[in-house]
Structure 1
Amino acid sequence: MFDIKWIRDNSEAFDKALARRGYKASAGNLIALDDARRSHVTKLQEAQERRNAASKEIGKAMAAKDEAKAQALKDEVAGIKSFIQDGEATERELNAALEAAMAVIPNLPLDDVPQGEDEADNVELRIVGEKPVLDFVPKEHFEISGAEAGLDFTTAAKLAGSRFVLLKGQIARLERAIGQFMIDLHTQEHGYMEVSPPLLVHDTALFGTGQLPKFEEDLFKTNGDHYLIPTAEVPLTNMAAGEIMPEEALPMRVTALTYCFRSEAGSAGRDTRGMLRQHQFMKCELVSVTKPEESLNELERMLGCAETVLKKLGLHYRVMTLCTGDMGFGARKTYDIEVWLPGQDTYREISSCSVCGDFQARRMNARYRPEGSKQLGHVHTLNGSGVAVGRALIAVLENYQNADGSITVPDVLRPYMNGLETIG
């Protein structure tokens, strides 16, 4: 969400930034909506002032026993009262129209974000590690004999339909180990506070982080007024919603290991084999709430925390700076971490880390009080995957597979697997 006053003062820059994201110019329409709202509010204020003045004149007329004038004034006040009542409803409609128009406009990219239309225009920032050298033809995760018994797509389809998997035995344990390893790393070494949030949230929380109203088709809604979270970013970021935080409470760094739920409405026919793109998946989420001047440094810090997961797992990966056309709706700048999957012979996204500026904070009215200042400011928010557990499981299976179909358990996970060294 944006400050309409800022748009008025920077309309050309606003439209130019939107054009970088492939969106049409919107400043003129938003200003026109705000003009209509302002004009109506002015009329209401004038009517209220006249009502107050006329009410005083009624008393004077009655004191002077001028009944005709008093009655005329009473009729005028009654008419003004009716206008104000109708006008207040119109004001709410005009406010809603402006808010609805702004609610579907994406965040503005930072100046250093590369220009582009889609993932083909993303820019490689760095490559870390080496691709594993295997003396056999690597298989995809669902083809590895040592993992097949633990990846039950048939039973999952019977229970829930497509895009679900039922993990069993040591594979289920390996997924749990990966998640536990991540949450321990981020809380014990990176200073994040662990949170166990609700998996069901109100629509206001999803509006705050930008999933609503634009991306409702990607969400699972219950029969009531709740939605399943598409990511723990939603409840974690909304911890700051409606709050005025003291400066000393910033940065707020929180993490959660949760299941996430997405309908994948826009991905029909994509990645249907295996467990790469599921309706339900586990993710370790990282969220930071900072002062404005600290948010860009916090983005680099968050990226480093996510990279540490892959380094400790011994996985080869690359970091990409997303172009303007591939960034998420609420992001000003995003880094993707793409892990190497030898079975697919390609890189796959395993983490996204984004800085949102005050975009989400304005939507959820999250503010802070600078020390020694009477004025409040909006916080900046950041979110990142630290990392997607299901995709980390795929990466471990494919990178640590052996010629006989077994999977070597990475050293860092063995304490979580009761010392187990090999699966299958």
Structure 2
Amino acid sequence: MFAMTSRLAGIGWSFFALAMVPTLPVAAGAQESRPASTVGDNPVRSPRQLAEQLAAVYGQRLDQVAYIPALPLVAKLRLSELTGVPKYAEEVDRVVAAFLRGEKTPVPKSGSEQAGHLVFAELAQRAKGQDRDRWIQLCRNAADQIFDADGKPLPIMPFHSEMSDAVFMAGPILAATGKLTGERKYFDAAAGHFASMRTLCLRADGLYRHSPMCEAAWGRGNGFPALGLALALSDWPEEHPSRQQLVGEFQQHMAALKPHQDVETGCWHQVIDHPESYDEYSCTCMIGFAMQRGIRRGWLNRTEYQSCVDRAWQAIRDRTSADGQLVNVCAGTGKQKTLQDYLNRPAINGQDDRGGAMGLLFATELLEVE
């Protein structure tokens, strides 16, 4: 039944659409992977159209500087830049105004909060003078957590929790801070962090286990390393001695992921190498983003990978309604003890901030090449 629902879901997408999408999590084994309700009304939405629809729903506030509310703001800044429409950047400016004025100065207490500081890095890239200095200082508040009291880099960023998520939670903010400040120490520290995460979580077959507690290659547990390394490499200096090694490791991970994309749906699965598990929205966005970024930056061969991105995009477009309802976003997941625990994680249908963040990020990355 598990495998059948996933397979049957990919049949006849052009002939029907759901009447509605439930908004509550349902048991993973009972969740069908089907397109969202309004797809039949607009089956050929462009990345810009989908990004604008998601931007109307997600990225409205930043009560906590964490990656889920921060990434839609990053995407909105890029959306304004790419479309020439200022309103998205203006919305971000209103959301972050208290941080710029100094009324809020967060200090991360988790990996998620470290990654949330990426919005400040994105703002710093576009700012000048005192505003730029302020945003950079906020980035340092996160990135400097990798240094001890004597200023020496720790082998791994605090709050990593032994989970592959930490490739994304720490790597990109370290690289972004290094680029903004011109200080090599942040790249050196990031390289050490990546090495530690590989030791903890990289399997012999090139996929990431979510944590040493279990060998399961959780979907988002591979999406995080894919997205994290793609973002970090985007800021990595050509002359840094670890660059070529990191590019090679990125390529190896993409090559390991490629054959596990579902040939019928275009998605990657809740557990990457278990096709009987459900098609999962967020990891498909993250992997699709990483592959598109790799193609655009010349790290991946377009002939080999563009079809993967195109199929992932069709899958995400078909699973995203005009009002931001999504299909099969895995609920928040800490490290689990068994494969079955990952297979049993609930899938969320409806509006979901985590999935919306990743969908918006993927759409804006595709908009870069339109």
TM-score category of the 2 structures, normalised to the smaller one: under 0.3
Normalising by the residue count of structure 2, what TM-score does the alignment of the two structures yield? 0.27
Normalising by the residue count of structure 1, what TM-score does the alignment of the two structures yield? 0.25
Higher helix share: 2
Higher strand share: 1
Higher relative contact order, structure no. (Cα contacts within 8 Å, ≥ 6 residues apart): 2
Structure with higher Rg: it is 1
